[in-house]
Amino acid sequence: MKWLQRLKSATTTNTDATKPTEPGFVGFVACPVAPSEKFAAPKQPPANEARTDPDHWCWPYGSAMNSAEIDTFTARLARFTDKGLTLADAEALTDGLVKRDREMDDRSLCLECVHLQGGTGRWRCGNAVVAGIGLRAADAQLPSDLTHQPQRCAGFTNFHGQGTNQ
């Protein structure tokens, strides 16, 4: 007789406990049908199940960036690299801006403004009169260091739509 035939012809054991196993023994031997009331496992969702709140462990409850901060970080990083900054410099500035946003600092960078024109080394403010940089549009030249400094500006308009015209 082969093993598959033995397996098919094997009888199953009786799982119903109807009599004690030994004389004088009070318990019965059988598999429990359901968990007993004394042993109930705590109800927890599986570890790999998606939570209803993806930002549950993020800022302000933890130090990790939440979804909105990640979206803003990505938009700023793209903006700064498009304006000619290296990836390392853009990431350093953007990390500082995440901290600034969390501290609710109202200063901004010229690099975040829609009015900033030009590229690395040749910056110009398109809203210089309102910003108070110069009396005429021709006086709108900006040094590179100024574009990387947090400052308050009356002509600031954020490029990603948050906090326009502070």
For range 129-139, the mean pLDDT: 76
Residue 57 included in any domain: no
Q: Which residues contact 110 (CB under 8 A, 6 or more apart)?
A: 116, 123, 125, 142, 146, 147, 148, 151, 153
Q: Which residue has the higher pLDDT, 137 or 114?
A: 114
CB 42 within 8 A of CB 28: no
Per-residue model confidence (pLDDT) at position 126 = 86
In which band, very low, low, confident or very high, does the pLDDT at 60 lie, cut at 50, 70 and 90?
confident
Is position 59 within any domain? Answer: no
Q: Tell me, yes or no, whether 20 lies in a domain.
A: no
Which pLDDT value is given to residue 159?
Answer: 80
The pLDDT value given to residue 165: 44
Q: Contact 116/155 with Cβ under 8 angstroms?
A: no
Whether 131 is covered by a domain: the verdict is: yes
Sheet strands side by side (includes 122-125): 116-119, 122-125, 141-142
Instruction: Give the per-residue pLDDT at 130.
Output: 83
Residues 6+ away with beta carbon under 8 Å from 22: none
Number of domains in the chain: 1
What residue numbers bound the domain in which 140 lies?
Answer: 67-147
pTM: 0.61
Residue 38 lies in a domain: no
Q: Is residue 49 part of a domain?
A: no
**158 in a domain, yes or no?**
no
Inside any domain, residue 55:
no
